[in-house]
Amino acid sequence: MATPHLILGNAVYSSWSMRPWLVLKTAGIEFTQEFLPLRTDEFRTRLAEVSPFALVPTMTIGDQVIGDCWAICEWAAEQVPGLWPEDPMARAEARMLAGQMHAGFMNIRRELPMDLRRFADPRDELDESVLSDIEKLARGWRFALEKSGGPFLFGEWSIADAMYTPVATRFRSYDISLPPDLQAYSTSLMETDEFAEWEKLAEAEDWVIEDILPKR
């Protein structure tokens, strides 16, 4: 098999790029990587060359293309065991929580965009829709953590945790207060060696998006 090649957006800003990168790193799958600056002609031109959807993340393996975060993670899980919980019911629940992140929490994603350069810098006021999303997300985290006992959603780290790691950075960036048990989980997501490596990539970037926050 040819070596997988990940095409990614800025490490500082691209939450969808972070997720499969963490999964492949944790799984020990060798891959090459290519970072593109978001919202640029270079980004649009390069992705149009390889992906039918022109989105990041995109993974190529030879002439094969996987242009979606979830699909890349599922591909990795088929290569390396242990990326989902072993128990069938826990595995279904992990996919349920991961699916909620993949398809939902639009208000968090819109109003609290990922920005790894921002630390403990709250927005002036959080919209009620954002607070509602945070409450819903907290219920999901607690649903899993009360069963597993932590430190990750289903005990051992899984794809579900990769899906929520960018959210943990948002809570850190915008100084979002969480109950102690959920703060402990959120912190644990940012204490893995793989996340530390991603942060180093972000620190090395000089690309800046000036208008990352939505206009109100």
Q: What is the pLDDT of residues 70-96, one digit of tens each?
A: 999 999 999 999 999 999 999 999 999
Averaged over 172-182, what is the pLDDT? 96
Q: Is the pLDDT of residue 1 over 90?
A: no
The pLDDT value recorded for residue 31 is 98
Q: Tokens in use for 206?
A: 């000089």
6 has pLDDT over 80: yes
pLDDT band, very low/low/confident/very high, at 213 (cuts 50, 70, 90): confident
Asked if the model's pLDDT at residue 147 lies above 70, the reply is yes
Superfamily of structural domain 5-81 = Glutaredoxin (3.40.30.10)
Global confidence as pTM: 0.96
The predicted pLDDT at position 210 comes to 84
Mean pLDDT across the chain, nearest whole number?
96
CA distance 119 to 156: 28
CATH class name, domain 88-197? mainly alpha
| pLDDT classification of 55: cutoffs 50, 70, 90 | very high
**Confidence band, pLDDT 50/70/90 cuts, at residue 100:** very high
Q: Find, among 100, 105, 113, the residue nearest to 131 by Cα.
A: 105
Supply the angle between the helices 128-148 and 159-173 in degrees, to the nearest 10: 140
User: Which ranges in the chain are annotated with CATH 3.40.30.10?
Assistant: 5-81
Q: How far apart are the first and last CA of the chain?
A: 48
**pLDDT attached to residue 212:** 84
Q: Which helix (H) or strand (E) holds 143?
A: helix 128-148
Q: Which of 134-143, 146-155, 168-177, 206-215 has the lowest mean pLDDT?
A: 206-215
pLDDT value of residue 124: 83
CATH 1.20.1050.10 in the chain, residue ranges: 88-197
Confidence band of 215 (pLDDT split at 50, 70, 90): low
Has residue 216 got a pLDDT over 80? no
SS3 152: strand
